[in-house]
A and B are shown apart, each in its own frame.
Chain A
Amino acid sequence: MTTLQSKVPQGPIKDKWTNHKNNINLVNPANKRNIDIIVIGTGLAGGSAAATLAELGYNVKAFAYQDSPRRAHSIAAQGGINASKNYMGDGDSDYRLFYDTVKGGDYRSREGNVYRLAEVSGNIIDQCVAQGVPFARDYGGLLDNRSFGGVLVSRTFYAKGQTGQQLLLGAYSAMNRQIAKGKITMYNRHEMLDVVIIDGKARGIIARNLITGEISRHSAHAVVIASGGYGNVYFLSTNAMGSNATAAWKVHKKGAYFANPCFTQIHPTCIPRSGDYQSKLTLMSESLRNDGRIWVPKNIEDAKAIQEGKLRPTEIAEENRDYYLERRYPAFGNLVPRDVASRAAKERCDAGYGVNKTGEAVYLDFASAIERYGKEQAHIQGIHNPSEEKVRELGEAIIEAKYGNLFQMYEKIVDENPYKTPMMIYPATHYTMGGIWVDYNLMTTVPGLYAIGEANFSDHGANRLGASALMQGLADGYFVLPYTIGDYLANEIRTGAIPTDTPEFDEAEKAVKERIDFFINNKGTHSVDYFHKKLGKVMWEKVGMARNVQGLEEAIKEIQEIREDFWKNVKVPGSVNEFNQELEKAGRVADFLELGELFAKDALNRNESCGGHFREDYQTDEGEALRDDENYSYVAAWEYTGKPSEAKLHKEQLEFKDIEVKTRSYK
């Protein structure tokens, strides 16, 4: 078994990044002009990387499947972005953010990377403010913060419930500046369908123009994958419809190891599904847990009555409600990390206490927050003995100011007024902590191939804390990759322009075309979605929030069967050389059908429960995750050898020198 070289620099954790930057190779400005870099994806990570690399002087080619970089799914992030600014003076520091992130990730992340992330987090806020991102401010004109799950300080910067949008538009504006200068060539509505490896190095990609169907070759001295996560393997997730793992999976098949695929985040506060036709799930920001209290009925009879529509939640008396998070985790209460909150919801619903007709929902109730804020406001406005209605009115106004757009979104979807009746929520797949394995420089196991943002296996270990995805995406793109990529490119200054008329490009293009032709000519019996839904069902039921050996073994077998069926019977209408959305989906689902199997295999391999990976056979008597640090304190990096089932495991042992590894407790 090869040992993976994480290349984390030596020295005290506080100095690692500074020392590393001082010692790595740089490319001089004149040479940067002769170096091309391809960036796949234009979300927070890809967009910020493309802009920064172009600013530094590299020639950047950026690819997005959407019609504009501004539409990448980072835009949907609602709640906020963490940074250890300690503006609130509540004792925050780089170390504390580092500590919270490692602990929140259930001690399955790389210390050096996480510390660096915390270290640059403050810079992100400075940068974004300079770019004109309109973060929320207090009446003194200074930046405001709120709290997120799993931490004891307020360090989350936000722009209403649209923080991801504002940060992405910031990165997009930085990109626009470079596009206007000609330093970034933007390929909208293009999808990368393979990476080209020459002499062991990543040298380019094959892309399809989604409008014309034209297949084109693009060469570069380095390729950066910033295509996001693979949550859509579940079919239903909070990801965008187009979010896909194709770029990540293609590079995996060409030699990049795929790490910890089983670490997936199931977000506790999403709008429950309402029917079989459902195409996606909608997230309700974690920030709602700042003020919302989660509960189910205490008595099973009440739960039954609610499920049958005979009882309304407002009719259940306070003493008959079970605020199960507050009961089980008094220290963190409703603000426990996401994995804990999700499992607790599932536990209650499995026990029969769910509160909608499917039995898969719990309440998120704002009544006490409305009352609290109402009284506070009445006091501020000098209203003595305010009536109940007045308190409600004042309180609702505050809630509206804080979460108005989320409440509106909820009402539009569910057709119920969340100010009056508690919201219904249920966990849904949201983020993937696993991804392409990268070293400290964010380079994959293929030289010249990088992965950033959600696409890499990241800094979040087995569970990501709220408001940390935006932080990581921007940290990688603005402040890490632009430096570390120089270390590799310094040796490429003599390479010159890379021709695309080589056998390697020929071969890659041929394979891509053959696959596309296959889909069109197959003329099978079932649509792409049919297979995707089947895969999603298996993934959710057997590789979802709770996993066990039997289920995982079944899942692997069933996924293989679905895949076989897919390649025999998939039906893709239309033709190759046109705008063909079914054809796009077919390629993506084909890759999910392989990734899903590796996912289950990884879950089966990891005989412990940690973070988002919960194995029913490894739990404490109280139903908490039971980690096995002795045997599984490693990153599972899988090497592709021809089939997902035959993937070869490589272990990167994790060392914890600056944090004492403990059982995670939020009690």
Chain B
Amino acid sequence: MNLTLKIWRQKSPKDKGQIVEYKVNDISEHMSFLEMLDVLNEDLVAKGEEPVAFDHDCREGICGMCSLHINGEAHGPDRLITTCQLHMRTFKDGDTIFIEPFRSKAFPIIKDLVVDRSALDRIQQAGGFISVNTSGNTQDANAIPIAKAAADESMDAATCIGCGACVASCKNASAMLFMSAKVSQYALLPQGRVEAADRVTNMIKQMDKEGFGNCTNTGACEVECPKGISLNNIARLNREYLKASI
């Protein structure tokens, strides 16, 4: 298929940036979206132009590195996938595709479609852990039975890949879904309860510092999340924070 791409090009963080139009031809429907961009880049390099910079690594939907806003949606129109898992069969011959970086004040652009998501790291550093030393001299793994339902729910929250699609999709660029996934993972496990109050308080403090917006529960994040993290986690985060504050 032949496609028209409208891609955000921005040379450096300070550059103004603009949408530039490109054509790609003979794209196979079996290609992944990133492979289609590889084709474009090969072409640009051959022509002596600078290829489009975009983040990607594992290309199997788990590292959370790829971060494109495609046709107005984080990770494109398909559901429960990352950009690298989006396949060209989702598009039709002759389509025009807008490709933009994840936009948020907290995600400054580095180049073209590459953004700096270290704000998410800093939130985790503020408390996204259990303070146990890695000595291995902890109690036996089976010492505390954990109800399967709680363990499964914790796991569902823990599957967050930290890609930032929630922030990119939210009209307020809020990072609440990301935050709530981590808070929930630990809040649901007995090991994590010990520090639950400090964790949620410190993480929220950091989140606010980073310039993310507020959550207005539009649910866009949940829809666009490649791992299907539920809005129920945001409610849990709110509960945890309220509990921690009174």
Contacts and interface: CB of A to CB of B under 8 A. Distances in A.
Q: Is the pairing of A and B real? A: yes
Interface of A: 48, 51-52, 55, 66-73, 75-76, 85, 87, 120, 122-132, 134-143, 159-160, 162, 165-166, 169, 172-174, 176-177, 179-180, 186, 188, 211, 238, 240-242, 274-275, 277-280, 282-283, 408-409, 412-413, 415, 478-479, 527, 529, 571, 573-574, 578-579, 581-582
A130 B142 contact: no
A125 B141 contact: yes
Given A141-B146, A165-B62, A130 B30 contact: no
A165 B161 contact: yes
Given A123-B136, A180-B125, A478-B136, A282 B45 contact: no
Nearest to A527: B45
Contact of B139 (A126, A134, A242, A412): A126
Select the residue from B50, B134, B159 with max chain A CB neighbours within 10 A.
Answer: B134
B192 A132 contact: yes
Nearest to B129: A173
Select the residue from A69, A176, A188 with max chain B CB neighbours within 10 A.
Answer: A176
B181 to A, nearest CB: 11
Give 8 closest A-B pairs by Cβ, nearest first: A141-B145, A123-B136, A173-B129, A130-B138, A134-B155, A129-B141, A134-B154, A579-B111
A599 to B, nearest CB: 23
Given A73-B57, A415-B30, 15 more contacts: A71-B58, A71-B64, A73-B58, A131-B129, A135-B151, A137-B152, A141-B148, A240-B63, A241-B59, A409-B85, A529-B38, A573-B45, A574-B50, A579-B53, A579-B111
Contacts of A120: 136
Interface string B123-145: 01110111111111011111001
Contacts, number: 217
Given A527-B46, A574-B50, A579-B111, A68 B128 contact: no
B77 to A, nearest CB: 13
Interface string B92-124: 000000000000000000110010111011001
Contact of B121 (A68, A142, A169, A413): A68
Contact of B128 (A130, A162, A176, A238): A176
Interface stretch (B167-175, B183-191, B233-241): B183-191
B45 A132 contact: no
Contacts of A139: 148
Interface string B56-82: 111111111100000000000010110
A52 to B, nearest CB: 5
Contacts of A70: 64, 121, 162
Given A240-B63, A412-B87, A134 B158 contact: yes
B246 to A, nearest CB: 25
B62 A76 contact: yes
B217 interface: no
A362 B32 CA distance: 22
B147 A578 contact: no
B225 to A, nearest CB: 14
A142 B130 contact: no
Nearest to B47: A573
A188 B114 CA distance: 14
Contacts of B58: 71, 73, 75-76, 240-241
B149 to A, nearest CB: 9
A137 B191 contact: no
A177 B133 CA distance: 10
Nearest to A239: B58
Nearest to B189: A132
B228 to A, nearest CB: 10
Contacts of B191: 129-132
B171 to A, nearest CB: 25
Nearest to A55: B133
B134 A75 contact: no
B232 interface: no
Nearest to B67: A67
| Chain B interface residue bracket vs A | 35 or more
Contacts of B111: 578-579
5 contacts: A129-B138, A188-B121, A241-B57, A409-B85, A582-B51
Contacts of A283: 60
Given A412-B87, A573-B49, A277 B38 contact: yes
Contacts of B145: 137, 140-142
A139 B150 CA distance: 11
A179 B125 contact: yes
A132 B194 CA distance: 12
A238 B110 CA distance: 28
A52 B80 CA distance: 35
Contacts of A68: 117-118, 120-121, 162
A415 B185 contact: no
Nearest to A68: B121
Select the residue from B126, B152, B159 with max chain A CB neighbours within 10 A.
Answer: B159
Contact of A66 (B57, B80, B125, B152): B57
Given A134-B185, A173-B128, A274 B117 contact: no
B31 interface: yes
Given A67-B55, A71-B57, A579-B110, A138 B148 contact: yes
Given A55-B133, A75-B63, A275 B28 contact: yes
A296 B131 CA distance: 51
A529 B191 CA distance: 47
Nearest to B37: A279
A68 B12 CA distance: 20
B176 interface: no
B35 interface: yes
Given A68-B117, A571-B45, A277 B125 contact: no
Contacts of A581: 51, 53
A479 B136 contact: yes
A594 B189 CA distance: 49
B52 to A, nearest CB: 9
Contact of A126 (B53, B65, B141): B141
A141 B147 contact: yes
A274 B132 contact: no
A93 B216 CA distance: 53
Contacts of B162: 68, 70-71
B1 interface: no
